Structure 1
Amino acid sequence: MSVVIGLDGGTEGIRAGVFDLAGRPLAFAAQSYPTAFPRPSWAEQNPQDWWEAAGRAVREAVAKAGIDPRDVSALCADTTNCSVVALDRDGVPVRPALIWMDVRAAEEAALVLATGDPALIVNSAGAGPVSAEWMIPKALWIARHERALFDRAATICEYQDYMNLRMTGRRAASITNAAIRWHYRAREGGYARSLVGSLGIPELADKWPTEVLPLGEVVGGLTPEAAAHFGLPVGLTVAQGGSDAEVAMIGLGVTTPGKLAFITGSSHLHLGLSAEPFHGRGIWGTYADAVIPGLHLVEGGQTSTGSVVNWLRGLVGTDWSYDALNAEAAALPPGSDGVLVQDHFQGNRTPHTDAGSRGAITGLTLAHGRAHLFRAAMEGVACGTELIFETMRAGGYRPDEIVICGGATRSDLWMQIHADVCGQPLTVTEVGEAPALGSAVLAAKAAGHYGSIAEAAAAMVKVARRIEPSMAAHAQYRPVYERYKQAYHALAPLRA
């Protein structure tokens, strides 16, 4: 028996999954770690906590699976991205990590955008934004506010790179993080040296790992210390992983041009692969080679989606189950009898990239009830998704298959609304733990069980069902969608 391990390092903890070579999960185990919020907009974690939690999770998952550790042929980790770590020459953190949700570097992000460097073309054709979450603003913040620690740091990298360094001793970066958030361009000279130079920190490029590895490449073997930590054999193959969302694409089988991963939850993320590069207003990307060598990644996102639905449920009372609310909402016609929700409760990520936009509910009468609000919220989110797809189509990218995972898949109604508004079928896969499965796919490829990521994903990712759109409902949603698009511009002058 040969198995692989996928590690999924998230915001609140790390999850280990043991998979066979057909992609069937044999066991999962999760371990949590704390986040500190020392000041408003700050969010920090101790990298040692990641390491300790990973060791416990792997040992527990292997024990639950009832396998001999010698049957594990490779492991791979995905992690949150934009979780920035500064290490001394011995690989020891010089300060807590600034995790992705830490946005203290807002001023530094504005300085990055103001450079107008050509490397910024990948976000709305250079119009931005540059997020305070990203690598360069955070590194610049450390340089400006903690100069002694910046100078002491021999390596500035991410959660992903720290884990691989602890596992193998190799100092390397993941192509996904570097390409989408460090402004690394493999085809145009690599790291954005002119950008960091114009910011007054040219040495940052030399603190980044000298190697940038593609997904699924062998990073190295477990060191004796790491092997003892995980309870696995010395020298076990460690595959290069990456950002959790991009690795989830692989766990959804999105490995060829024209396919798009639709990752739902409190927010929505839309990640597609294109054979050709393109850039435009409202489009994040494309990022060359960020997931599959030779292909380009395009990104869209909605900031508040499932969180809006959850907020509405809280208003009507949590004693009302989602099943009951879904049943009531399903009895209503498309368009919720005129109620329209703009889903910008926490701003808009794409295509407007407008943090100041706000949520709105319009068209209310005394005849409307909670079901109208509930359905209209789902429809508003679906309209936001369609607007992202429309923007991508204008840039030349038209997905021919959309693979969905996450919280929305638990609502048949919301799935159908998404399909109907967009007029496209949605594919659901068997394993809901897409990031962990994606890491397992990369491990299987690195171990030599499959010749490519696409071959491994084809063998290990299985389709469970498809949701077909009702074209009659799609036609009914067109005027609703047009009203949704108009609402953003109509409401903008009314902001407080």
Structure 2
Amino acid sequence: MALGRKAYFIGLDGGTGGARAIVVDAEGNVIAMATHDYATTFPRPGWAEQTPVDWWCAACLAVRQAVREAGVSIADIRAISADGTSSTLVALDHGLQPTMPAILWMDNRAAQQARRMTETKHPALRRSRLGVSSEWMLPKILWIKETLPDVYERSRWFVEMTDYLALRLTGRLTLGLNHITNRWFYDGRRGGWPEDFFHKAGLDGITGHFPDEILPLGAPIGYITPDAAEDLGLARDTLVVCGGTDAYVAMVGLDVCRPGRTAFITGSSHLVLPMTDQDVEVPGIFGPHPDCVVPGLLVMEGGQVSSGSIVRWWHDHIGRLGNAGPDSYGEMLRQVEALPIGADGLVALDFWQGNRNPYIDYELQGALWGLTLKHTPGHMLRALVESVAYGTENILRTLRTHSVAVETMVICGGATRTPFLMQMHADVCGIPIAVPKVLEATAFGSAINAAVGAGFYGSLPEASGRMVRESHVIEPDMRRNRAYGEVFEFYRETHEALAPLMHRMARRGPPAPRPVGQNGLVISARAEAMTVAQPAE
């Protein structure tokens, strides 16, 4: 570790609901943290959009507040690194301005394009043999090409949220190796871009729309621009370090940088991310993704599109009607906790935005059955919450079926605020869940990433091993595990029974097109107030 004056690092997390900034020191102590929200719009069922410059506005407010509350000199803030939601597509014109709203990670409008890509059966699909996810970048780009050709023609560059934030920070247009490996079919061990696959999928020449400079997690990009420094209230010699996909950066914040460790990321969506040194394919699970976090190691990925977002939907539309106090979430879930396992015969599916793993089927939908006049809204929510835990167990069972055993998980995210939810997951899955001292692992991981980029540690495993500390472990109740196991079988059989009906419903035909503005772009008034710094020639 480098010696000298006191050093601090900023992690900037571009999440689904807002920007979070954290200030930490080189020992991993959190000095301050701040958040600022931005909006998501849902123009049609299954669609989700955000405005890129809203991200920047929120980032500026969050960083300024965190630095102010930290009370540290900006001269001692050595580096900043930003992560972003995975496969949130940003299309930029020649002037580096958005040509349309950003298509959010959870958006599944490109289901048909993803299906056609799957049907190519190209070797590039080895890490997703059961199907291409409609959340991913290439299906979304193909959707733009086929349905908004004028927007496609105006779009010089396609990047992710993380790359956009790096652009706003440095003025340089780069791509992160982390997200192009786990979402863009890039494979550095097998020649890089699969150009023939892109051609076969209908995206011939698409790599010409990708920035040439590809940087790994933890690599310095350059110093912050004067304009960005002024916007964020930072010194002009602040180093900017390449980030990546939020959940994969959270692996660093959970010290999941060695084989045999598994991250459990909870929030709007859930992710199970085992780190491995084995190049083993598991049907229904994405990966193994090589070298995208730690060089020489691979990451398996199983995810749920809608998890915490289901609980939030219930809270916003139903739950808080009877719980209007400051702890409306807590009160709502305390009522659910008192109900029996299995919700007195109710069974739910958590596929409200489709299923990512293990079915990779974005035409699936949510469901709830078994209702009688005995049941209350609390029973319904209990079934929905259980369905989220069953979705996690479904991923773990798929891994175990193919000899990838997950014996414990390290958790972060929204579920950590509710002990009942963490205990339910431990009980349903039948494994211990470790809880770290810093629960905001994504922003924390970005800060650790910044420390590595600034040279204070030699590698991500070294830095996370030194900066991450464990709080406690939640042990499973195996009696409850057996009771949940009986309901889990109903969960899996419900999917089998309803999937054909859901496919028929999804294929009835798309709704009428949404009107768009002159440039095909919906942008907030405040977003027009800030412009992107131009890259150096």
Which residue matches 2:136? 134
Partner amino acid, structure 2, of 1:223? T
Aligned length: 493
CA contact (8 A) 1:173 1:213 kept: yes
Which residue matches 2:113? 108
Say which of 193, 200, 213 aligns to 1:198. 200
CA contact (8 A) 1:258 1:397 kept: no
Q: Quick check: 1:226 aligned with 2:215?
A: no
CA distance in 2, matches of 1:147, 1:361: 39
Which residue matches 1:69? 74
Q: Deviations over 1:204-236 (max 9, x none)?
A: 112212232211111222233433333323342
Say which of 62, 75, 83 aligns to 1:78. 83
Q: Quick check: 1:409 aligned with 2:411?
A: no
Structure 1 position 289, deviation (Å): 1.6
16 and 352 in structure 1: CA distance in 2 versus 1, 3 angstrom threshold = same
Single out whichever of 303-312 and 378-387 deviates more from structure 2: 303-312
CA distance in 2, matches of 1:85, 1:376: 36
Q: Quick check: 1:456 aligned with 2:456?
A: no
Q: TM-score, normalised by structure 2?
A: 0.82
Structure 1 position 184, deviation (Å): 0.6
Say which of 319, 322, 326 aligns to 2:322. 319
CA contact (8 A) 2:430 2:481 kept: yes
356 and 438 in structure 1: CA distance in 2 versus 1, 3 angstrom threshold = same
Structure 1 position 443, deviation (Å): 0.4
Which residue matches 1:60? 65
CA contact (8 A) 1:85 1:157 kept: yes
153 and 323 in structure 1: CA distance in 2 versus 1, 3 angstrom threshold = closer
Partner amino acid, structure 1, of 2:86? N
Counterparts in 2 of 1:208-223, with a 5 A limit?
Answer: 208-223=210-225
Q: Quick check: 1:50 aligned with 2:52?
A: no
Structure 2: where are the runs of 5+ without partners? 1-5, 506-537
Q: Deviations over 1:220-264 (max 9, x none)?
A: 222334333333233422111011121122222221222222222
Q: Deviations over 1:89-108 (max 9, x none)?
A: 45344444333344444443
CA contact (8 A) 1:419 1:468 kept: yes
Three-state SS of the structure 1 residue aligned to 2:294 is coil
Partner amino acid, structure 1, of 2:133? V
CA distance in 2, matches of 1:356, 1:104: 10
Single out whichever of 225-234 and 364-373 deviates more from structure 2: 364-373
Q: Share of identical aligned residues, percent?
A: 45
Say which of 187, 190, 205 aligns to 2:189. 187
CA contact (8 A) 2:106 2:353 kept: no
CA distance in 1, matches of 2:331, 2:64: 40
Single out whichever of 416-425 and 296-305 deviates more from structure 2: 296-305
Partner amino acid, structure 2, of 1:319? G
CA distance in 2, matches of 1:226, 1:66: 20
Three-state SS of the structure 1 residue aligned to 2:355 is coil
Three-state SS of the structure 1 residue aligned to 2:457 is coil
CA contact (8 A) 2:344 2:379 kept: yes
217 and 380 in structure 1: CA distance in 2 versus 1, 3 angstrom threshold = same
Three-state SS of the structure 1 residue aligned to 2:11 is strand
CA distance in 2, matches of 1:202, 1:219: 29
CA distance in 1, matches of 2:368, 2:44: 33
Which residue matches 2:393? 386
Which residue matches 2:103? 98
Q: Does 1 or 2 have the higher relative contact order (CA < 8 Å, sep 6+)?
A: 2
Which residue matches 1:299? 301
CA distance in 2, matches of 1:23, 1:199: 45
CA distance in 1, matches of 2:309, 2:226: 44
140 and 20 in structure 1: CA distance in 2 versus 1, 3 angstrom threshold = same
Q: TM-score, normalised by structure 1?
A: 0.88
CA distance in 2, matches of 1:437, 1:370: 37
Say which of 350, 354, 366 aligns to 2:357. 350
Counterparts in 2 of 1:15-54, with a 5 A limit?
Answer: 15-35=20-40, 43-54=48-59
Structure 1 position 332, deviation (Å): 5.3
RMSD: 3.0
Single out whichever of 281-290 and 105-114 deviates more from structure 2: 105-114
